């Protein structure tokens, strides 16, 4: 777990940034493992700890803004943040820009001072540094046999102050990222991809510049999908599926959850799941895309490249990538 | 529970109307307890009973229409109606207006005469009184180990006859409300809020006129969220979360449900959940809003004011409310 | 089960086509049982088998295209395909048209050759015949107590190659249908209806030409709902409800699933459920419709005709059907 903990992401920043399908990673958005000692084993139990993270909000080329774990390393989306139920994250946000901005999380606990909203005067003025505290916890008993839910989930964070009191300009320009709160015992993935459906873009890019996510056959891959902006979307992944519940896996034979391969991904919502790359279907260039027809035609599509188990390219994949790079934005035959 | 039963809502009408975030409650939409002997205890078992309710459909200032439990008391949204699985509601709808209208419920059982649709000639002509019967029931065994679902849920009712055969004008003008069917043993709340996302409004109001819902720190608050109109929306509540299942609470450690704080709220859909006000985050002025950016910027936002446990104002809350009243409708800095 | 198996649908084609609410079945879209020895009993256990099906893609009057199980029998939507977890379907698609097209499934396993996408050069040129292989499987153990999900679900298939690389023209013109993968032990229905919400149409028709689905009081009816196109929709069925899980039924008293009667039905998504026709509410002409107000007003509504148990017409149903045929497309007054 150490390789995966947020506290250690600072020295893993280059790898974890790449893993999020970050803008800086180039046209194909090549991804790499977040950590090394990081197989499909149950998460280790641990007492709740407090981790301190410094995040830098920076202006990027092309009118974009990003969050990063070190100066000069901001990306779109920002770094993937993770914690276990019971942990606390102390986020020191350094605003290196000339804009008012903030960081507002979903799913975790925070006081009004850490709300990240102008409503509560919780934001960074230009050049200002401010600390936001995010807490999490396990489920706890309510009356009867029921439990008030804990914090575990596939969440996200975003600006809530640039442009409008809801951070509309900040979100539009790339100030967003994924936040995972795990329950102890959760299965850890080998690779992680952050996919943000945001107006007509994926991670603020359009095909063929959308991220190409890569894994080897059989690797346990975790997808975190986030919606933003003004439009409705549906996330579809070819040749893979997941349970529409907290983990994406069935809790047992009597788990009643829907199994799906297409899910609404609307502004402010997020979900996550794990698949075994190419399991049962083989390697290849598999599409992920918005299933709204004029969105996919307009560029909301990308490639999930499942390589052979040894990392080599499977037959046909190069040709598919070539087609993708040349044949997007088709609005009619 | 008596204070909460529909049969007794007639003499509780002022309080229950206020509790729904009713239009008449003023700009801040102050809310108050629905009942007094009404703590977080399991619901009492009871045999199915039939309750008779008279509802008055009335024209309101500003071109609105509303349902009310007494003449001159119509509100937007209409009164919160509740029943237990097995109960029957006999709704006598008095149409005091010059428009054709009806009342159509979701989730419960009714014959075609009580459908509330012009298709089945089930509506009130101008000035007409008509009775609609809504029944409910518990789950019952299907073949195998499965059960056909009972009626328990966070439902709603609305006009299905004004303007068009689908009641488009009636819904647009405020003829809608919440309907809860409880399963015996469900935990009862201390406060209840009805939130209707309807085109660019919340309960037919825009910020800063949207309802301000109030509770004291730790109170068990029930939210009922309803979607109407022509647009898609997502409901987000700051600093609180819920399980995406029937009750909003986990049924136990193996309940696989997603835990969320943002959910699609589209026309005809509804959901509900209970939170402990400010639990784990403290008191303050917490925002609830549509997370579609141009909807929140356009006025689909309001305040959930969590007071101190003794009812006094927490630090910063007055300032936040003041900001909210002056700084809405921001479409760019 | 034999009557229901895909392998035998070729000699059942007329009936199963009708059961899907097919375009060719006339304005009232009368439906009939898919099979005879087909009651509400648990599905029989069986080893996984491979079934071969030939599907003909054909041009239809009115600019439409359809899939069919025999030459000259293409319909919109296409035939309902079914399999059990573990089964394989070998689809031989005969393209009788002058357009590039394909067949792309959701929910099942396929290699890149059977992807149905131009990305993977998986399509039929005009006049070409090509075989697509769809496999399915049961859940299997992951690390810990969890299971990777199996294929069981209410899925669908559609063109992915006509007009654009995402099949936008093919989908728009009717190249879509339902695919069910059952888990062994699932309860089989007596009747089945496929409902596709596609832009402003239901099964590419608008009221009053939308399909009228028919059943006798108490019959176990299975609905398969599919979304396509560019718009968002919500599916609502009057006087019936279902659990928002894999089967639409509760797995037992502790199943935490939401019970709903209105659900988002957006492009690429699908769901299914079973109801007992008119159970608890009686026979009659019940509406199903999109609950987005300007969609239902614009023609996205139809009738679920629940006849008396002996098949005779219940009181008021003829009048309701007459009203529906004359009173649709009401945009005011």
Alpha helices, H only, chain B? 13-19, 168-172, 293-298, 317-326
Q: Respond yes or no on whether the N-terminal peptide bond of residue C153 is cis (omega within 30° of 0).
A: no
Q: Are strands C65-68 and B262-264 parallel, antiparallel or unpaired?
A: unpaired
Answer with the residue of higher pLDDT: A181 or A12: A181
Is residue A27 over pLDDT 60?
A: no
Radius of gyration of chain A (CA): 19
Nearest-Cα residue of chain B relative to residue A263? B264
Answer with the residue of higher pLDDT: B30 or A241: A241
Q: How confident is the model at residue A327 (pLDDT cuts 50, 70, 90)?
A: low
Q: Respond yes or no on whether the N-terminal peptide bond of residue B121 is cis (omega within 30° of 0).
A: no
Selected for mutation to probe chain C from B119, B234, B244, B256 (highest C CB count within 10 Å) is B119
Question: What pLDDT is recorded for position B44?
Answer: 42
Query: Measured between beta carbons, which residues in chain A are less than 8 angstroms from residue B256?
Result: 243, 245-247, 250-251, 255, 257
Q: pLDDT tens for residues B50-80?
A: 999 999 999 999 999 999 999 999 999 999 9
Q: Number of helices and strands (H, E) in chain C?
A: 4, 21
Nearest-Cα residue of chain B relative to residue A228? B292
Nearest-Cα residue of chain B relative to residue C185? B144
Query: Measured between beta carbons, which residues in chain C are less than 8 angstroms from residue B163?
Result: 332-333
The three-state secondary structure class of C193 is: strand
* Chains sharing 3 or more CB pairs under 8 A with chain C: A, B
Q: Which residues sit opposite C272 in a β-bridge?
A: C224
CA C241 to chain centre: 18
The mean pLDDT of A72-79, rounded to a whole number, is 98
Q: Give the strands of the sheet with C104-105, arranged side by side.
A: C81-84, C176-182, C153-158, C104-105
Contact assessment for residue C106 and residue C115, using Cβ atoms and an 8 Å cutoff:
no
Query: Measured between beta carbons, which residues in chain C are less than 8 angstroms from residue A297?
Result: 164-166, 168
CB contact under 8 A, B147 and C257: no
- Alpha-carbon distance of B123 to B116, in angstroms, equals 5
Question: What pLDDT is recorded for position B143?
Answer: 77
Q: How confident is the model at residue A43 (pLDDT cuts 50, 70, 90)?
A: very low
Share above pLDDT 90 across residues of chain A, in percent, rounded to a whole number: 81
Query: Measured between beta carbons, which residues in chain A are less than 8 angstroms from residue C135?
Result: 280
Round to the nearest angstrom and report the end-to-end CA distance of chain B.
49
Q: pLDDT tens for residues C200-244?
A: 999 999 999 999 999 999 999 999 999 999 999 999 999 999 999
Query: Measured between beta carbons, which residues in chain C are less than 8 angstroms from residue A318?
Result: none
Question: What pLDDT is recorded for position C23?
Answer: 33
Q: Which residues sit opposite C274 in a β-bridge?
A: C222
Burial group, residue A331, by CB count within 10 angstroms (0-12, 13-18, 19+): exposed
Question: What pLDDT is recorded for position C144?
Answer: 77
User: H or E element: which one contains A129?
Assistant: strand A129-135
Query: Measured between beta carbons, which residues in chain B are less than 8 angstroms from residue A150?
Result: 259
CB contact under 8 A, B282 and A135: no
Contact assessment for residue C70 and residue C94, using Cβ atoms and an 8 Å cutoff:
no
The residue ranges of DSSP E strands in C4-125, in sequence order, are 50-59, 65-68, 81-84, 88-95, 104-105
Question: What pLDDT is recorded for position A143?
Answer: 77
Nearest-Cα residue of chain A relative to residue B236? A268
- Alpha-carbon distance of B118 to B167, in angstroms, equals 9
Contact assessment for residue C9 and residue C69, using Cβ atoms and an 8 Å cutoff:
yes
| Mean pLDDT for all residues in chain B | 87
Question: What pLDDT is recorded for position B133?
Answer: 98
Q: Are strands A191-198 and B234-237 parallel, antiparallel or unpaired?
A: unpaired
Quote the minimal CA–CA distance from C54 to chain B in Å: 34
Question: What pLDDT is recorded for position C333?
Answer: 36
Is residue B330 over pLDDT 80?
A: no
What is residue B149's DSSP assignment? -
- Alpha-carbon distance of A58 to C290, in angstroms, equals 44
Is residue A319 over pLDDT 60?
A: yes
Nearest-Cα residue of chain B relative to residue C282? B111
CB contact under 8 A, B261 and A139: no
**Identity of the residue in A236, A259, A327 whose CB atom sits nearest the CB atom of C152:** A259
Q: pLDDT tens for residues A199-244?
A: 999 999 999 999 999 999 999 999 999 999 999 999 999 999 999 9
Is residue B29 over pLDDT 70?
A: no
Q: pLDDT tens for residues A149-176?
A: 999 999 999 999 999 999 999 999 999 9
Question: What pLDDT is recorded for position C265?
Answer: 98
Nearest-Cα residue of chain B relative to residue A134? B281
Quote the minimal CA–CA distance from C29 to chain B in Å: 18
User: H or E element: which one contains C294?
Assistant: helix C293-297
Burial group, residue C70, by CB count within 10 angstroms (0-12, 13-18, 19+): middle
Query: Measured between beta carbons, which residues in chain A are less than 8 angstroms from residue B257?
Result: 149, 245-246
Is residue A12 over pLDDT 90?
A: no
Selected for mutation to probe chain C from A152, A230, A262, A313 (highest C CB count within 10 Å) is A262
Contact assessment for residue A122 and residue A131, using Cβ atoms and an 8 Å cutoff:
no
Nearest-Cα residue of chain A relative to residue B278? A111
Question: What pLDDT is recorded for position C7?
Answer: 32
Query: Measured between beta carbons, which residues in chain B are less than 8 angstroms from residue C256?
Result: 243, 245-247, 250-251, 255, 257
Query: Measured between beta carbons, which residues in chain B are less than 8 angstroms from residue A199?
Result: none
pLDDT one digit per residue (tens) for chain C, 333 residues: 233 333 333 333 333 333 333 333 322 222 322 322 333 444 444 469 999 999 999 999 999 999 999 999 999 999 999 999 999 999 999 999 999 999 999 999 999 999 999 999 999 999 999 999 999 999 999 977 899 999 999 999 999 999 999 999 999 999 999 999 999 999 999 999 999 999 999 999 999 999 999 999 999 999 999 999 999 999 999 999 999 999 999 998 889 999 999 999 999 999 999 999 999 999 999 999 999 999 999 999 999 999 999 999 999 999 999 999 985 544 443
Q: How confident is the model at residue A311 (pLDDT cuts 50, 70, 90)?
A: very high
Quote the minimal CA–CA distance from C314 to chain A in Å: 36
Question: What pLDDT is recorded for position B253?
Answer: 87
Q: How confident is the model at residue A14 (pLDDT cuts 50, 70, 90)?
A: very low
Q: Respond yes or no on whether the N-terminal peptide bond of residue C47 is cis (omega within 30° of 0).
A: no
Residue C83's region, left for phi above 0, alpha for psi from -120 to 50, else beta, is beta
CB contact under 8 A, B145 and C328: no
The residue ranges of DSSP E strands in A63-217, in sequence order, are 65-68, 81-84, 88-95, 104-105, 129-135, 140-141, 147-148, 153-158, 176-182, 191-198, 201-202, 213-216
Selected for mutation to probe chain C from A289, A293, A320, A332 (highest C CB count within 10 Å) is A293
**Identity of the residue in A236, A256, A261 whose CB atom sits nearest the CB atom of C246:** A256
Is residue A42 over pLDDT 90?
A: no
The three-state secondary structure class of A312 is: coil
Q: How confident is the model at residue B10 (pLDDT cuts 50, 70, 90)?
A: very low
CB contact under 8 A, A247 and C118: no
CB contact under 8 A, A147 and B249: yes
CB contact under 8 A, C153 and A258: yes
Q: Are strands A284-290 and C88-95 parallel, antiparallel or unpaired?
A: unpaired
**Identity of the residue in C100, C257, C267 whose CB atom sits nearest the CB atom of A292:** C267
- Alpha-carbon distance of A111 to A113, in angstroms, equals 5
Nearest-Cα residue of chain A relative to residue C160? A293
- Alpha-carbon distance of B251 to A142, in angstroms, equals 10
Question: What pLDDT is recorded for position B38?
Answer: 36
CB contact under 8 A, A285 and C106: no
- Alpha-carbon distance of A53 to B316, in angstroms, equals 27
Contact assessment for residue C152 and residue C182, using Cβ atoms and an 8 Å cutoff:
yes
Query: Measured between beta carbons, which residues in chain C are less than 8 angstroms from residue B228?
Result: 293
**Identity of the residue in C236, C280, C323 whose CB atom sits nearest the CB atom of B137:** C280
CB contact under 8 A, B166 and C289: yes
CB contact under 8 A, C287 and B106: no
Q: How many Cα atoms within 13 Å fall on the side-chain side of residue A95?
A: 22
CB contact under 8 A, C230 and A293: yes
Selected for mutation to probe chain A from C144, C186, C247 (highest A CB count within 10 Å) is C144
Radius of gyration of chain C (CA): 19
Question: What pLDDT is recorded for position C237?
Answer: 98
Q: How many Cα atoms within 13 Å fall on the side-chain side of residue B186?
A: 26
* Chains sharing 3 or more CB pairs under 8 A with chain B: A, C
**Identity of the residue in A143, A151, A250 whose CB atom sits nearest the CB atom of B187:** A143
Q: How confident is the model at residue B1 (pLDDT cuts 50, 70, 90)?
A: very low
């Amino acid at each position: 777990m150490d390789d995966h903990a947020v506290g250690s992401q600072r020295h893993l920043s280059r790898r974890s940034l790449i893993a999020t399908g970050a803008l800086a990673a180039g046209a194909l958005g090549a991804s790499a493992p977040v950590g090394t000692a990081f197989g499909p084993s149950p998460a280790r139990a641990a007492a709740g700890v407090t981790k301190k993270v410094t995040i830098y909000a920076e202006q990027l080329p092309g009118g974009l803004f990003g969050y990063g774990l070190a100066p000069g390393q901001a990306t779109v989306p920002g770094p993937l943040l993770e914690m276990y139920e019971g942990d606390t994250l102390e986020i020191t946000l350094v605003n290196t820009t000339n804009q008012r901005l903030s960081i507002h999380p979903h799913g975790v606990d925070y006081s009004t001072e850490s709300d990240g909203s102008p409503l509560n005067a919780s934001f960074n003025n230009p050049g200002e540094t401010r600390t936001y505290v995010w807490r999490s916890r396990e489920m706890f008993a309510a009356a009867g046999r029921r439990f008030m839910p804990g914090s575990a989930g596939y969440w996200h964070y975003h600006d809530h102050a640039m442009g409008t009191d809801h951070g509309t300009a900040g979100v539009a320009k790339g100030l967003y990222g994924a936040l995972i709160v795990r329950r102890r015992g959760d299965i850890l993935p080998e690779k992680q991809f952050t996919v943000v459906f945001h107006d007509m873009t994926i991670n603020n890019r359009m095909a063929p510049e959308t991220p190409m996510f890569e894994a080897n056959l059989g690797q346990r891959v975790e997808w975190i999908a986030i919606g933003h902006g003004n439009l409705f979307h549906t996330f579809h992944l070819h040749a893979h599926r997941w349970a529409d519940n907290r983990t994406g896996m069935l809790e047992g034979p009597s788990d009643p959850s829907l199994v799906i391969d297409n899910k609404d991904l609307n502004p402010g919502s997020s979900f996550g799941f794990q698949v075994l790359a190419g399991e049962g279907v083989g390697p290849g260039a598999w599409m992920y895309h918005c299933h709204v027809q004029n969105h996919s035609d307009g560029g909301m599509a990308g490639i999930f490249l499942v390589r052979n188990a040894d990392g080599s390219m499977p037959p046909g994949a190069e040709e598919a990538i070539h087609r993708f790079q040349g044949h997007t934005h088709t609005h009619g035959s």
